Amino acid sequence: MRWTPGKRSENLEDQRGASGGRLALGGRGLGIGGILILLVLSVVFRRDFFSLLSGAGTSMPAADTAAPVSDAAEEPLVQFVSFVLDDAQATWAQVLRPTGVTYRDAKLVLYRDAIESACGFAQSATGPFYCPGDEKVYIDLGFYQELRDRLGAPGDFAEAYVLAHEIGHHVQHLLGTEDQVRQAQRARRDLENVLSVRLELQADCYAGIWANATEQRSVLEQGDIEEGLQAAASVGDDRLQRMGGGTVNPDAFTHGSSAERVAWFRKGLTGGRLAECDTFSGAR
């Protein structure tokens, strides 16, 4: 992507110095890689493997006072996600203007290992997530290494796709879609996973709308679109289930298959309009 390093977003909250330590199990630190394994197992077997961490010898990270962070190795990535955040939010302010919905900036919180949000306690294994309760996106930058090394999706636009997807959830919140889906899930527990998949696929489509805007402004470079498509494919539920050594169980999907995620990201990229992203038709 074409961007100019050198600044941090005003909507960035750097909590990397206040996120507590590593989860300890039996006196040994459990890092992002180990936690990712527990996440995959939890998805595959539909069981909370994180509950295993609540036994003897387990310590949860304490909430420390925020400390200044000066990490030269991570600073280029901090500035890159700042650029993506600001660019995506400026794009959505324009896209939503004709709808009469005023875009309200989300905050991006950077943390390490674990953090307390308005949506509850979260660990790195949760992956990047959006919390409508405080209108913030949470990312442990270590996830990008997992995205590249474990999930096979390298490149700066792969990283941008992840953040653009989470900003897509913020757009859903502002439009009232997220609240409508939560109400429908409470009313129809049998459709809980189906509706979750539709919500996630729409966020993928919204990420595609932002990608369309960057392409129109010649921000993208050769290979960027392919990186975004690979990132979407890498986090499909079917692929994660296979990585966990299990069989593919569509009934357990919460985010959609690799093919579905790629298709909806591509649809937003090609159409560039909100009307292209109706993932809920037929979800009855």
Grouping H, G, I as helix, E, B as strand and the rest as coil, residue 35 is: helix
For the segment 67-94, the average pLDDT, to the nearest whole number, is 90
Q: What is the mean pLDDT of residues 28-39?
A: 50
Q: Which residues of 4-22 are buried (b: 16+ CB within 10 A; e: fewer)?
A: eeeebbebbebbbbbbbeb
* SS3 label, residue 29: strand
3-state secondary structure of 140: strand
CB 12 within 8 A of CB 110: yes
Q: Rounded to whole angstroms, what are the CA distances from 71 to 75, 79, 141, 149?
A: 6, 12, 12, 21
Report pTM: 0.83
DSSP structure class, residue 254: S
| Reported confidence tier of residue 281, pLDDT bands at 50, 70, 90 | confident
The span from the CA of 208 to the CA of 225, in Å, is: 10
Q: Do 86 and 161 meet the contact criterion of CB atoms below 8 Å apart?
A: no
Higher pLDDT, 124 or 160: 160
Integer Cα distance of 268 and 284 in angstroms: 23
Express each pLDDT in 36-71 by its tens digit: 555 555 554 444 544 444 443 333 343 344 444 668
pLDDT at res. 57: 38
Instruction: Quote the pLDDT of residue 54.
Output: 41
The predicted pLDDT at position 38 comes to: 57
Between vectors from CA 80 to CA 141 and to CA 213, what angle results, nearest 5°?
120
Is the per-residue pLDDT at 207 higher than 90?
yes
Q: Distance of CA 198 to CAs 86, 191, 243, Å?
A: 26, 11, 23
Residues 228-240 have pLDDT tens digits of: 999 999 999 999 9
Q: What average pLDDT does the chain have?
A: 86
